[in-house]
Structure 1
Amino acid sequence: MRWKIKPETDSSITTNLAKELGIEYTLAKLLVQRGIHTFNEAKAFFRPSLDNLHDPFLMKDMDVAVARIETAIKANENILVYGDYDVDGTTSVSLLFSYLKTLHTNIATYIPDRYAEGYGISFQGIDFAEDNNFSLIIALDCGIKAIDKVNYATKKGIDFIICDHHRPGNEIPAAVAVLDPKRSDCDYPYKELCGCGVGFKLIQALASKRGETIENLIPYLDLVATAIAADIVPITGENRILAYVGLQVINSNPRTGIKAMIHQIDKTALTITDVVFIIAPRINAAGRIKHGNYAVELLTEPDFDTAVKFASEIEKNNTERKDLDKIITVEALQQLEENNEAENFSTVVFSETWHKGVIGIVASRLIETYYKPTLVFTKSGDKLAASARSVKGFDVYKALEQCSEFIEQFGGHKYAAGLTLEPKNYPKFKAKFEEVVKNTLPEELRTPEILIDTEISLSEINPKFYRIINQLAPFGPQNLKPVFMADGLRDNGYGKKVGSDLTHLKLCIIDGVHQQTYNAIGFSMGDKHKLTTNGNPFKAAFTIDENHWNGNTSLQLVLKDLQED
């Protein structure tokens, strides 16, 4: 791993901030690194307030969208709330459906089938709307590139409102309204909302027209926080506010469906990390294994006993998903070895038997082994479908643009994308993608990087230090949990490999200068044990966490990497 330490902050600004806040210099430095230079900025950061959300009507087309929905309600039209089958899509649909149900009875939801229809708006979904007399479709977390689909709906007399957050193409669909902060002609101040975040801005606008306050919408923020966590969007600006308050809702009074999931896993006081690794995969599992509708049913179900039954079924889906991704990952790794492709600049694998619902997870697994931009293909009808994942710093979406001559359709983000192509084009695409990555992936991005906030002495770590670090949460992109570095360290001689397969590393680390000791755990770092034996000095990159054991709570270092000192 490459260790990269963040640049030094302006010492005068950092010193002044430390003095104003009454905190250690190191803690002030963490704030300055996050763009916080004054007492008032720190106050807003530590106490995110819904009062600081932007006016939803600053978003392009918001006034048109609200007017069209109000017309539909007054005319008693049938409204179809349409969304993608992943966490962002299903939470978006659940959010808007739940809110509109308080205003109007003729509301239904539609989640496309991952296998029969694929990602985004489908002709099949529009036909469903026509057959069931829906005159307005509100699409969430998808639609920004659905030019032909929107035109198809228009010919059938069906209007579209699109709420998306993905990058637009050269042309915007001819919908009644297109809400997307990434539109080049949209002046909305915050560009990093997830799909559910855009959906929330829509209900915020609708509510304001009815004289409701933002406090009336707090019960919907459990869904928004879940989507923010799952979609790995920056935890800055509005996302930080929405995630902060939404997490409080999750931990105090979540909707029945989320309460049922928490009941299944028997865990309290969830963090954003828990939402990412515990809640989100379960919601996702419905669309991966069965159908995304199951997730919407769970998230909109008012009866707790019924919700528990839904949650139990989704738990089974999640167990099946985990089994599948393990099997397919092994097969993919074998394929790379057998084809002598492990040394390529990119990873591209294909099997027509692989389950389409888990290929994105498998792509992420392969990056853990071979740190390269990765695509995993499987058969989808008469086409091939793939999930793409990237390494830090490399824009896989732009790389796919350079291969577009062989792609039927694609969409996504810098680090994650999906695409389909004709089977005959697979060899040409694979060769072109390898060529693009080879020519555009810088040498330094071919090794995983640990970004270190600052170097510290273990003597600086104490309960107050940890409490203030925790107040930087919720953590996520652009506000990651602080990673520290310390050198001159030794193990006290009792360090050992732990775990059923001895893959983890447990140490009791001594700071050579202050003789301060701390327990440390390094997950999947058992191979580093030799580096810490015989009193050898080493340096460590780590985060700080609490360890709860036998009713006792203590601080521990969570190791990210070790190097010789």
Structure 2
Amino acid sequence: MKYKQWHRAACPPGGRRAMEAAGIPPLAAMVLCARGLDTPEKAAAFLDSSLGQLRDPLLMKDMDKAAARVARALEAGETIAVYGDYDVDGITSTCLLTDFLRSEGGQVIPYIPDRMEEGYGLNTDALDTLQREGVSLVVTVDCGITAVEEADHARALGVDLVITDHHECKSRLPQAEAVVDPHRSDCPYPFKCLAGVGVALKLVLALGGPARQRELLERYADLAAVGTVADVMSLTGENRTIVRLGLEGLRRTRRPGLKALLREAGLEERPLTSGTIGYTLAPRINASGRMGRAALAGELLLTDSPARGEELAAELCQLNRDRQAIEAEIYEECEALAQALPQQQRYALVLAGEHWHQGVVGIVASRLADKYSCPAFMICLQDGKGKGSCRSFAGFNLFAALEHCAPLLEGFGGHELAAGFTIREENIPAFAQAMNDYVRAATGGEEMVSVLDIDAEVEDPGLLTLEGAESLDLLEPYGAGNPKPVFSLSGCLITALSEVGGGRHLKLKLAAGGRSFDAIFFSATAAQAAVAVGDRVDVAFTPQVNEYRGWRTVQLQVCDLRPALTRAQAERALYEKFRRGEALTPGEAEALLPSREEFVVLWRYLKGHAHPAPLEETAPRLARSIARSAGRRETVMRTLVCLEVFDERGLIRLERTTDHLHIALQAVEGKVDLEDSWILRRLREMRG
């Protein structure tokens, strides 16, 4: 198993039926119900990606001040610097605002700091340089919210500063002409999940006014979508609208460089989704910043020359290949370091090295967090100082953890799930201890485990048709806050398997419910998955449409496999699930619900064997004895449900220790109506 736990969400049958009655296809209805969107009204509100989702940018605190100061600079012909960040969000933010201001006649200098030489965010040397170049207004995008000292320095230089950002705020805000960040505690803006490029887009919309909204969205949604997806922002609310518009705009983008990059990455003829942005396009743009050449990606997105766009696109793709090679080397070294750590230092993985490439350690941290199921902190050392990148696991709040360890740090910033920090080398051991103590306390000493969230069990494999898989497009765009749907099929038979892609991936043929399915398990071999032809497995997967030589078929993209339970194990697991009070699928409830005849047969047996002395028995033996006496198959789980109902209605006194049962008949007066049983009512309600 790739994941230690599978967590299957509850899907109320009544909600699913109401959704299907409203015209939502079955698979999509199952996913929406599992995610709490269990009425047609809730589903419609979530799926809405119309322009009506977009809020007035002037609702954002200080947006009026920011727009007024920028408009004044445009009118007066001031030189404006747009100061960004070297990741995809920062680069797209910089290019979006630069392009707009230039189109309005502005004198604009885009500035993206060098990751290796300058690090993240505003720095005083850059402000000095921009002031000497005649800049009188600096507008930050995707950075600046923690730049208190740098803002004071800009003021001392006589340079006005407008900050637009989306990162978490500290208690003290920089002193600037305007500080625009939806995470400000005093900001009433209702949607807090905008990316840095989303906030930059809002500034552009505020400058353009309501009359130009559609025009400006059509012009800049492509850049906004790329930055939003790349920064793993929640694809709900406004972000669904921004990304939907951006995906439509990407295919017909007028940016020569972006068009060339789509072609160089092999996306020219393929459908464009949030997945193609996140896994194919964004890494190539990101590679420029990671390798210390962010200006290349900035030039690519701003160039008007198709020829130059082709050159830059090829260069970015090569940089991405270089990044992958360096990342593989560092990851291999870090695995050895992690394995050498004692268990008490694995609540939070803190690793440091002198020769690591600062631009790729964030990716390595993410991979380590997934592998070791804990937050990971990677620190690049040079001259006694360390620059750190960290990634979360299981939603752990990194920003709060770094705040707790702030006395040991020189500085920090970022999100709950990804952050950066600086630290002196001599403080690293104390930091590692403090962070491990903090994580251990936050988790109650429990080991974090990898959990796969499954939306629903597919009880009818007949739903997995080409039409069914295509119907899930209704839920696009996928991303944070709206992940790809994951379903499960139980008891599938592996009828064929082979390793493909140079032995890196596992191709399977699965049989379930009289149907056969092709499946692909990426980055897994037969040995790693521990499977062979003839095995029965439970499969967690995402249905997708596979196109090959003009044929379109359903393929199951496997997320995980696990050995299927035996019938007895499956029955016991289902019964225990019911006893824990968890919601059941309609099929599970049906399987647990005893018939009237089963109650009658069991009661007759108990009257003959539990009187006058109580009956001492195990559940499996009791079920087998009843089956023999009735000449029919009885299940352990339904036998146990019958006993629970008898106990609830006062007919017996039931005591259980694991499988051992102590059953004593109780004296009752008059008739007892089993139909009044709360247990039966609950099962029938879940059965629908």
Instruction: After TM superposition, give the deviation of residue 34 of structure 1 in Å.
Output: 4.4
Q: Say whether residues 1:227 and 2:218 are aligned partners.
A: no
Paired residues of 2:509 and 2:518 also in contact (CA < 8 A)? yes
Paired residues of 2:162 and 2:178 also in contact (CA < 8 A)? yes
What one-letter code is carried by the residue in structure 1 that aligns with 2:56? D
Superposition pairs for residues 118-197 of structure 1, below 5 Å? 118-197=119-198
Instruction: After TM superposition, give the deviation of residue 77 of structure 1 in Å.
Output: 1.0
| Counterpart for residue 488 of structure 1 | 491
Instruction: After TM superposition, give the deviation of residue 5 of structure 1 in Å.
Output: 3.6
| Counterpart for residue 526 of structure 1 | 525
Instruction: After TM superposition, give the deviation of residue 147 of structure 1 in Å.
Output: 0.8
Paired residues of 1:393 and 1:445 also in contact (CA < 8 A)? no
Q: Say whether residues 1:546 and 2:549 are aligned partners.
A: no
Note closer, same or farther for the CA distance 1:430–1:37 as it changes in structure 2 (3 Å cut). Answer: closer
Note closer, same or farther for the CA distance 1:226–1:404 as it changes in structure 2 (3 Å cut). Answer: same
Paired residues of 2:91 and 2:297 also in contact (CA < 8 A)? yes
Encode CA deviations 1:242-291: one digit per residue, 9 max, x unaligned: 01110111123352221111121222322211111111111111112132
Question: Which of 274, 283, 286 lines up with 2:285 in the alignment?
Answer: 283
| Counterpart for residue 20 of structure 1 | 22
CA distance in 1, matches of 2:417, 2:349: 14
CA distance in 2, matches of 1:454, 1:296: 43
Encode CA deviations 1:33-82: one digit per residue, 9 max, x unaligned: 44545556545655621232111111111111111111111211111000
CA distance in 1, matches of 2:380, 2:411: 15
Instruction: After TM superposition, give the deviation of residue 201 of structure 1 in Å.
Output: 0.5
Q: Say whether residues 1:357 and 2:359 are aligned partners.
A: yes
Instruction: After TM superposition, give the deviation of residue 531 of structure 1 in Å.
Output: 5.2
Q: Say whether residues 1:243 and 2:243 are aligned partners.
A: yes
What one-letter code is carried by the residue in structure 2 that aligns with 1:274? T
CA distance in 2, matches of 1:410, 1:326: 26
What one-letter code is carried by the residue in structure 1 that aligns with 2:493? R
Q: What root-mean-square deviation, in Å, do the aligned CA atoms of Structure 1 and Structure 2 show?
A: 2.1
What one-letter code is carried by the residue in structure 2 that aligns with 1:238? E
Instruction: After TM superposition, give the deviation of residue 224 of structure 1 in Å.
Output: 0.6
| Counterpart for residue 515 of structure 1 | 514
Structure 2 residue matching 1:72: 3-state secondary structure: helix
CA distance in 2, matches of 1:444, 1:434: 12
Note closer, same or farther for the CA distance 1:345–1:41 as it changes in structure 2 (3 Å cut). Answer: closer
Paired residues of 2:9 and 2:35 also in contact (CA < 8 A)? no
Paired residues of 2:440 and 2:446 also in contact (CA < 8 A)? no
Instruction: After TM superposition, give the deviation of residue 237 of structure 1 in Å.
Output: 0.3
Of stretches 287-296 and 197-206 in structure 1, the one that deviates more from structure 2 is 287-296
| Counterpart for residue 682 of structure 2 | none
Note closer, same or farther for the CA distance 1:534–1:52 as it changes in structure 2 (3 Å cut). Answer: closer
Paired residues of 1:257 and 1:299 also in contact (CA < 8 A)? yes
What one-letter code is carried by the residue in structure 2 that aligns with 1:518? F
Structure 2 unpaired stretches of 5+? 565-688
Paired residues of 2:392 and 2:398 also in contact (CA < 8 A)? yes
Instruction: After TM superposition, give the deviation of residue 87 of structure 1 in Å.
Output: 0.6
Encode CA deviations 1:393-439: one digit per residue, 9 max, x unaligned: 21122222221111010011111110001122122112211222222
Encode CA deviations 1:516-535: one digit per residue, 9 max, x unaligned: 11011112332467754363
Of stretches 337-346 and 197-206 in structure 1, the one that deviates more from structure 2 is 337-346
CA distance in 2, matches of 1:445, 1:196: 37
What one-letter code is carried by the residue in structure 1 that aligns with 2:439? V
Structure showing greater Rg: 2
Superposition pairs for residues 458-473 of structure 1, below 5 Å? 458-473=461-476
Paired residues of 1:298 and 1:307 also in contact (CA < 8 A)? yes
Superposition pairs for residues 470-481 of structure 1, below 5 Å? 470-481=473-484
Paired residues of 1:163 and 1:195 also in contact (CA < 8 A)? yes
Instruction: After TM superposition, give the deviation of residue 443 of structure 1 in Å.
Output: 6.3
Structure 1 residue runs of 4 or more that deviate by more than 6 Å after TM superposition = none
CA distance in 2, matches of 1:245, 1:44: 17
Of stretches 31-40 and 518-527 in structure 1, the one that deviates more from structure 2 is 31-40
What one-letter code is carried by the residue in structure 2 that aligns with 1:300? L
Note closer, same or farther for the CA distance 1:124–1:455 as it changes in structure 2 (3 Å cut). Answer: same
Paired residues of 1:141 and 1:165 also in contact (CA < 8 A)? yes
CA distance in 2, matches of 1:290, 1:402: 31
Structure 1 residue matching 2:377: 3-state secondary structure: strand
Structure 1 residue matching 2:249: 3-state secondary structure: helix
CA distance in 2, matches of 1:356, 1:484: 38
Paired residues of 2:507 and 2:518 also in contact (CA < 8 A)? yes
The TM-score with structure 1 as length reference comes to 0.94
CA distance in 2, matches of 1:107, 1:17: 51
Note closer, same or farther for the CA distance 1:171–1:343 as it changes in structure 2 (3 Å cut). Answer: closer
The TM-score with structure 2 as length reference comes to 0.78
| Counterpart for residue 54 of structure 2 | 53
CA distance in 1, matches of 2:24, 2:412: 51
Q: Say whether residues 1:326 and 2:328 are aligned partners.
A: yes
Question: Which of 417, 421, 424 lines up with 1:422 in the alignment?
Answer: 424
Note closer, same or farther for the CA distance 1:518–1:62 as it changes in structure 2 (3 Å cut). Answer: same
Note closer, same or farther for the CA distance 1:77–1:445 as it changes in structure 2 (3 Å cut). Answer: farther
Structure 1 residue matching 2:541: 3-state secondary structure: strand
| Counterpart for residue 64 of structure 1 | 65
Instruction: After TM superposition, give the deviation of residue 7 of structure 1 in Å.
Output: 3.7
CA distance in 2, matches of 1:416, 1:286: 19
Note closer, same or farther for the CA distance 1:406–1:292 as it changes in structure 2 (3 Å cut). Answer: same
What one-letter code is carried by the residue in structure 2 that aligns with 1:548? E
| Counterpart for residue 198 of structure 1 | 199
Size of the aligned set, in residue pairs, is 559
Encode CA deviations 1:153-185: one digit per residue, 9 max, x unaligned: 111111111110011000111111111111110
Note closer, same or farther for the CA distance 1:342–1:405 as it changes in structure 2 (3 Å cut). Answer: closer
Paired residues of 2:284 and 2:316 also in contact (CA < 8 A)? yes
| Counterpart for residue 442 of structure 2 | 440
CA distance in 2, matches of 1:251, 1:545: 21
Structure 1 unpaired stretches of 5+? none
CA distance in 2, matches of 1:337, 1:262: 40
Paired residues of 2:233 and 2:479 also in contact (CA < 8 A)? yes
Instruction: After TM superposition, give the deviation of residue 22 of structure 1 in Å.
Output: 5.5
Note closer, same or farther for the CA distance 1:401–1:225 as it changes in structure 2 (3 Å cut). Answer: same
Structure 1 residue matching 2:103: 3-state secondary structure: coil
Structure 1 residue matching 2:163: 3-state secondary structure: strand
What one-letter code is carried by the residue in structure 1 that aligns with 2:398? V
Paired residues of 1:483 and 1:543 also in contact (CA < 8 A)? yes
CA distance in 2, matches of 1:317, 1:119: 20
Paired residues of 2:28 and 2:475 also in contact (CA < 8 A)? no
CA distance in 1, matches of 2:30, 2:554: 21
